[in-house]
Structure 1
Amino acid sequence: MNALSIPTWMVHVSSVIEWIVAIALVSRYATKAGYGHWRALAWGMVPALVSATCACTWHFFDNASQLDWLVTLQALTTVIGNITLCLAAWWIYRQSAQPSAPKP
């Protein structure tokens, strides 16, 4: 756990917490506002959260060479996360551009 300084750990951990909160808030917004297509954004954020968790786990174990596969998994989930976030944004745009019935 000595691989990172305390301030760097604070950034890493707070980033993971922020992603969890953001996913929960987006999901809650989708439910409360009745915009189910926004839930795609929440799901699209999950791979980025996995990526951040991989980084924290690898650093927690002092960048152990036995866990080098976590670096590969982090890279993969970062790419997947970028793609899913892009697709989610496109889906929200597409759904928002369609005319809809007025809300009661």
Structure 2
Amino acid sequence: MHALSIPTWVIHVSSVIEWVAAIWLIWRYAEVSGNLAWRSLSLGMLPALVSAMCACTWHFFDNPASLSWVVTVQAAMTLVGNFTLAIAGWWIWRSSKIPTRESGQPETIDPD
């Protein structure tokens, strides 16, 4: 645990907590708004969360060479997470363009 300063640890841990909170809030938004396409964003965020947890794990054990595979997993999860987030964004955009059965118009959510 000596590889990082306390303020840096605070940033790392709070970032993971914020990411978990964001996943949960987006999932709840999908339920409340009735637009379940937003769930794809929550699921798409999970690989990035795994990536962050890998980084914290590696630093927690003082960055040993024996855990260099964790860095590889972290990099892979970052790559996968970038793709899953892009796909989730596309899915949300696509769902906003699909007409509803009742009105024949795309569903829109009033920001107010």
User: Normalised by the shorter chain, which TM-score bucket?
Assistant: over 0.9
Rounded Cα–Cα distance in structure 2 between residues aligned with 1:9 and 1:82: 24
1:8-42 residue CA offsets vs partner (Å, 9 max, x unmatched): 11110011001000000000111111111100000
| TM superposition score normalised by structure 1 | 0.95
Shift of 1:94: 0.3
Rounded Cα–Cα distance in structure 2 between residues aligned with 1:56 and 1:25: 23
Equivalent residues in 2 for 1:1-104, closer than 5 Å? 1-100=1-100, 101=102
Percentage identity across paired residues of the two chains: 60
| TM superposition score normalised by structure 2 | 0.89
Larger helix fraction of residues: 1
- Classify the secondary structure of the residue corresponding to 2:37: helix
1:46-85 residue CA offsets vs partner (Å, 9 max, x unmatched): 0000000000000000001111100000000000000000
Structure 2 stretches lacking a partner, 5+ long: 108-112
Rounded Cα–Cα distance in structure 2 between residues aligned with 1:4 and 1:97: 46
Q: How many residues align?
A: 103
CA RMSD across the alignment: 1.2
Structure 1's consecutive aligned runs of 4 or more residues displaced over 2 angstroms after TM superposition are: none
Structure 1 stretches lacking a partner, 5+ long: none
